[in-house]
Amino acid sequence: MATIKEHQSSKSEGDEEDLLDVLLRLIDDGTLGIPITFDNIKAVILDVFTGGTETSSTVVEWTISELIRNPTVMAKAQGEVREAMMRWKNRDFDEELLSELQYLKLVIKESLRLHPPLPLMLPRVAKEACQVLDYEVPAGTRVMINAWALGRDPLYWGSDAERFRPERFEGGEVDYKGNHLEFVPFGAGRRICPGMAFGMATVELVLAQLLFHFDWKVPGGGEVNTAAEELDMQEAFGASVVRKEKLRLVPVLRTPAARCLIDRRLRSLLYNINKIILAQVVTVPCSSHVVNHEVMFGHV
Ligand code: HEM
């Protein structure tokens, strides 16, 4: 609260607006149509922090884990980043550079397919009774879409669905923006993640730097990274899917330390499991894109 008030009084003419400034302005000018309060502002800031931190760091961690296990993919992704940096004459990482990293984007998509940080979407409730496929769904039923299962279903991804193969997205139309309901790492419909573009930019930026500045080894792997393929990929149970074991890797610095803009430690993400409280509501987990369409576009 004190921070909000501080922000309110310290802003001077001509300063660029940040998120808090925009929200405070909306209170003042009343153009929003619905009144917003300081409590609403606190809730939005909390949403941004909780929705936008662990999700992005989890994607980075799973992606590096998969790259370690797939050295050919790692080499290709690193080659792309390093060549782009050479072309750009060692400029800093920015949006324009990121737009050139087409293979890295495929790598992130593939990582999101196998390891969506939020495996079960925000629960939906059927507003009225309806029929989906052969099932009668009573009004009030809570439905949870299982993005994790959809992402690994051979029906949609073929017999190598469990394999990390970014090329499967090459030249294809499938994206994560809520139009392809077999691939919904950010959800779909009215509740789709509002931080999708921000989240992807963050993940790309962090990964591009980790791949540019360092070669990565499994501790004890020696010159030839023999243990890499056996890296433990177990998941911890929880509302978001994080690694069960901490990811411990050895970063080998490749570029001069002066250009090293990042914190070398990958964040340790042992997560305090949140229990999903289902209370007394009938809850149906589902993993079919047809059901997904009905739920995400029909019910809130
Ligand atoms: C790669 C990173 C991210 C992933 C994978 C992700 C994924 C998701 C998913 C799956 C949902 C539920 C959507 C649904 O049920 O249809 C969601 C909701 C949400 N996300 Fe993200 N998210 C990411 C980054 C962010 C960021 C950076 C922010 C904010 C700065 C953010 C803010 C939110 C909020 C506020 C919601 C709740 C929306 C609602 O209540 O309707 N997320 N996110």
Nearest ligand 1 atom to alpha carbon 112: 5
Question: Do 7 and 44 reside in the same domain of the chain?
Answer: yes
Question: Do 166 and 42 reside in the same domain of the chain?
Answer: no
Q: What is the CATH number of the domain that holds 95?
A: 1.10.630.10
Report the C-alpha gap between 200 and 25 in whole angstroms.
28
Question: Do 33 and 62 reside in the same domain of the chain?
Answer: no
With respect to residue 287, please indicate whether it lies within any of the assigned structural domains: no
Nearest ligand 1 atom to alpha carbon 178: 16
Q: What is the pLDDT of residues 226-253, one digit of tens each?
A: 567 778 899 998 878 999 998 988 888 8
Question: Do 6 and 109 reside in the same domain of the chain?
Answer: no
Question: Do 191 and 217 reside in the same domain of the chain?
Answer: yes
Question: What local confidence, expressed as pLDDT, does residue 79 receive?
Answer: 95
Q: What is the pLDDT of residues 136-185, one digit of tens each?
A: 999 999 999 999 999 999 999 999 999 999 999 999 999 999 999 999 99
Q: What is the pLDDT of residues 271-289, one digit of tens each?
A: 222 222 333 345 566 677 7
Residue whose CA is closest, atom 36 of ligand 1? 193
* Cα–Cα nearest to 111, from 155, 202, 176, 171: 176
Give the DSSP per-residue string, 86-147.
Answer: HHTTTPPP-HHHHHH-HHHHHHHHHHHHH--SSSBPSPEE-SS-EEETTEEE-TT-EEEEBH
193 is in an annotated binding site: yes
Asked if 50 and 180 count as a contact pair (C-beta separation under 8 A), the reply is: no
Parent domain of 29: 2-50
Percent of the chain at pLDDT > 90 equals: 51
Question: Do 250 and 190 reside in the same domain of the chain?
Answer: yes
Question: Do 36 and 62 reside in the same domain of the chain?
Answer: no
With respect to residue 134, please indicate whether it lies within any of the assigned structural domains: no
140 Ramachandran zone, left/alpha/beta (phi>0; psi -120 to 50) = left
Nearest ligand 1 atom to alpha carbon 188: 16
Q: Is 292 in the pocket of ligand 1 (CB under 6 A)?
A: no
Please tell me which residue, 66 or 246, carries the higher pLDDT value: 66
With respect to residue 284, please indicate whether it lies within any of the assigned structural domains: no
Q: Is 56 in the pocket of ligand 1 (CB under 6 A)?
A: yes
Say if residue 60's pLDDT is above 50. yes
The amino acid occupying position 271 is Y
61 Ramachandran zone, left/alpha/beta (phi>0; psi -120 to 50) = alpha
Q: What is the pLDDT of residues 68-113, one digit of tens each?
A: 999 999 999 999 999 998 887 756 788 888 999 999 999 999 999 9
3-state DSSP assignment of residue 296: helix
Cα(116) to centroid(ligand 1), Å: 11
Phi, psi of 145 (to 5 degrees): -80, 130
Q: Kindly tell me the burial class for residue 256, based on how many C-beta atoms sit within 10 Å of its own C-beta (0-12, 13-18, 19 or more).
A: exposed
Say if residue 295's pLDDT is above 70. no
Question: What local confidence, expressed as pLDDT, does residue 192 receive?
Answer: 95
Choosing from 55, 142, 145, 240 the residue with most ligand 1 atoms within 8 A of its CB, the one to mutate for a pocket test is: 55
